[in-house]
């Protein structure tokens, strides 16, 4: 009888341990990836990275700069968030960003639009669903003085941040 | 009048004397052999029934049944249908499906005379077919630049993930107690081990009817039930006597 009772208690205990301790309580498996952009030297014969000086990036219709990069700093590689409930995201890339005495922008502004398709992907119980983007394309709005000379979408599927998706030559 | 009463009194005394002429066997063996009831026991899980009332996100039932084969061996089965909605951190989904568990129970408890209780261990092979429906979900996107307040609600209508199935082995430990004649109250705890698990490419089976919650990276699941069941008695059979008991043998000899 004692053995039986101990057995029952052990089983109940084991059940409680198995059902309560979960490795999937906190989301660690993945999240919606950011777009990875790298800047390259346009004139170089061999592919060489080239930082953009005093880069400032502002999303279309936003009055704050993007929160994934240090504002007005020299950057050679950046990450940008894409809008998950839209199929395009537009950013103003401002080189040599500075304010004049009146507070107006004096840098060279180029407007880039990223078009893509949304793909909702289930990750885990804790993370739920994340967004992946495929058929990515980048369009530069031409103006009188584009500092961006060429754009190359090297990876059309955005599912992680391990690879560079867009190469910008300037 | 008194004379008659006294005479009658003496008459009884004489009868008593006759009955006492036979020696009393103080170590008399019970000649009535208890016959154990055999039959089909059918019932329902009370915990799942009750859950229909206190939990708005659940509807379902489980029917239980067993058939006694020998003194301590029963064929047992459970049949259930469940509709369960779960709220996770970033999504809400409903699982609908049915399951069937078939196996055996072995009674480990030796009853006293006339009792028909069981404390059993058992095993089941279980199979469930089900579908999931995502009711609402948010896109897990920690960047707050475009959406300063909260995660974006998922816009695409994720269709129902149907024709899914899973099978598992279940270890059961339980008891059934006879409350009234042929009416039993039972309880059991179950530990399941997933054998097969067919899920949709776009969603995981994180809850399976009959198996309950599936933990990612683990094949184990737990469950329980509280059953009320009724025994439909078909026939009665006495338990086979053990021959190795020397006292019983001696008693029978002296009597003969």
Domains of chain B and CATH, by start: 30-255 (2.40.160.20)
**Per-residue confidence at B10, pLDDT binned at 50, 70, 90?**
low
The mean pLDDT of A108-134, rounded to a whole number, is: 92
Q: How confident is the model at residue B255, as a pLDDT?
A: 46
Domain presence at residue A61: yes
Could you report the predicted ipTM of this complex, rounded to two decimals? Answer: 0.77
- For residues B209, B211, B216, B220, the Cα torsion angle rounded to the nearest 10 degrees is -170
CB within 8 Å: B143 and A14 = no
For the cut 60, the answer to whether the pLDDT of residue B236 exceeds it is yes
Q: Tell me the C-alpha to C-alpha distance, in Å, between residue B233 and each of B68, B185, B230, B242.
A: 10, 16, 9, 25
CA gap B74, A63 in Å, rounded = 74
Domain presence at residue A6: no
CB within 8 Å: A83 and B146 = yes
CB within 8 Å: A127 and B140 = yes
Model confidence pLDDT, tens digit, residues B175-213: 999 999 999 999 999 999 999 999 998 899 999 999 999
Residue indicated by tokens 């190795």: B244
What is the DSSP annotation of chain A?
Answer: -HHHHHHHHHHHHHHHHHHH--TTSS--S--PPPEEEEEE-SS-SS--B-PEEEEEEEETT-SSB-TTS-TTEEESEEEEPPPTTSSEEEEEEEET--B-TTS-B-SEEEEEEEEEEEEEEEEETTTEEEEEEEEEEEEEEP-TT-S--EEEE--S-BS-SSS--EEEE-
CB within 8 Å: A67 and B143 = yes
Determine which of B117, B145, B154, B224 to mutate to test the interface with A (most A C-beta atoms within 10 Å): B145
CA gap B57, B54 in Å, rounded = 9
Which of A101, A137, A115, A110 minimizes the C-alpha distance to A56?
A110
- Order the strands of the A35-40 sheet from edge to edge: A77-80, A35-40, A166-169, A150-153
Domain presence at residue A69: yes
- The set of residues, in sequence order, having a beta carbon less than 8 Å from that of A71 and lying 6+ positions away, is A56, A65, A97
Domain encompassing residue A28: 24-169
Domain presence at residue A160: yes
- The set of residues, in sequence order, having a beta carbon less than 8 Å from that of B122 and lying 6+ positions away, is B74, B76, B103, B104, B105, B106, B171, B172, B173, B174, B188
Structural domains counted in chain A: 1
Q: Are B78 and B124 in contact (CB under 8 A)?
A: yes
Q: How confident is the model at residue B104, as a pLDDT?
A: 96
Q: Are B197 and B7 in contact (CB under 8 A)?
A: no
Does A62 reach chain B within 8 Å, measured CB to CB? yes
Domain presence at residue A115: yes
Domain presence at residue A10: no
Which of B53, B78, B75, B41 minimizes the C-alpha distance to B63?
B78
Nearest to A24 among B108, B138, B216 (CB): B216
Domain presence at residue A3: no
**Per-residue confidence at B43, pLDDT binned at 50, 70, 90?**
very high
Q: How confident is the model at residue B249, as a pLDDT?
A: 46
Q: Are A65 and A78 in contact (CB under 8 A)?
A: no
Domain presence at residue A95: yes
């Amino acid at each position: 009888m004692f053995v039986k009772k101990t057995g029952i208690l052990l089983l109940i205990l084991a059940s409680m341990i198995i059902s309560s301790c979960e490795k999937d309580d906190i989301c660690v498996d993945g999240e919606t990836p950011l777009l990875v952009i790298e800047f390259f030297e346009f004139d170089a014969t061999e592919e060489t990275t080239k930082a953009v000086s005093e880069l400032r990036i502002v999303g279309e219709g936003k009055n704050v700069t993007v929160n994934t990069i240090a504002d007005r700093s020299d950057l050679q590689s950046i990450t940008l968030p894409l809008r998950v409930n839209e199929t395009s995201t537009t950013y103003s890339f401002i080189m040599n960003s500075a304010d004049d005495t009146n507070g107006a922008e004096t840098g060279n502004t180029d407007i880039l639009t990223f078009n893509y398709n949304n793909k909702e992907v289930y990750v885990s119980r804790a993370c739920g669903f994340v967004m992946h983007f495929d058929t990515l394309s980048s369009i530069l709005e031409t103006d009188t003085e584009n500092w961006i000379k060429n754009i190359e979408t090297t990876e059309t599927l955005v599912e992680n941040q391990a690879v560079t998706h867009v190469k910008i030559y300037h | 009048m008194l004379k008659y009463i006294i005479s009658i009194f003496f008459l009884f005394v004489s009868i008593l004397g006759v009955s006492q002429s036979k020696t009393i066997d103080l170590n008399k063996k019970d000649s009535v052999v208890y016959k154990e009831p055999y039959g089909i026991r059918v019932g329902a899980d009370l915990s799942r029934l009750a859950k229909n009332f206190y939990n708005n996100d659940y509807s379902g039932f489980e029917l239980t049944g067993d058939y006694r084969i020998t003194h301590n061996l029963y064929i047992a089965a459970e049949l259930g249908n469940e509709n369960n909605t779960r709220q996770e951190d970033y999504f809400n989904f409903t699982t609908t499906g049915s399951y069937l568990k078939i196996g055996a129970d072995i009674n480990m408890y030796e009853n006293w005379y006339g009792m028909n209780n069981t404390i059993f261990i058992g095993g089941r092979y279980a199979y469930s077919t089900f579908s999931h429906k995502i009711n609402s979900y948010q896109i897990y996107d920690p960047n707050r630049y475009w959406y300063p307040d909260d995660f974006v609600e998922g816009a695409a209508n994720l269709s129902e993930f149907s024709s899914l199935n899973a099978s598992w082995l279940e270890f059961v430990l339980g008891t059934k107690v006879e409350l009234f004649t042929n009416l039993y109250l039972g309880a059991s705890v179950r530990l399941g081990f997933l054998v097969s698990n067919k899920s949709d490419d776009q969603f995981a089976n994180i809850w399976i009817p009959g198996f309950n919650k599936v933990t990612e990276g683990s094949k184990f699941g737990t469950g329980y039930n509280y059953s009320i069941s009724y025994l439909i008695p078909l026939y009665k059979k006495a338990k086979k006597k053990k021959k190795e008991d020397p006292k019983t043998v001696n008693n029978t000899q002296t009597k003969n």
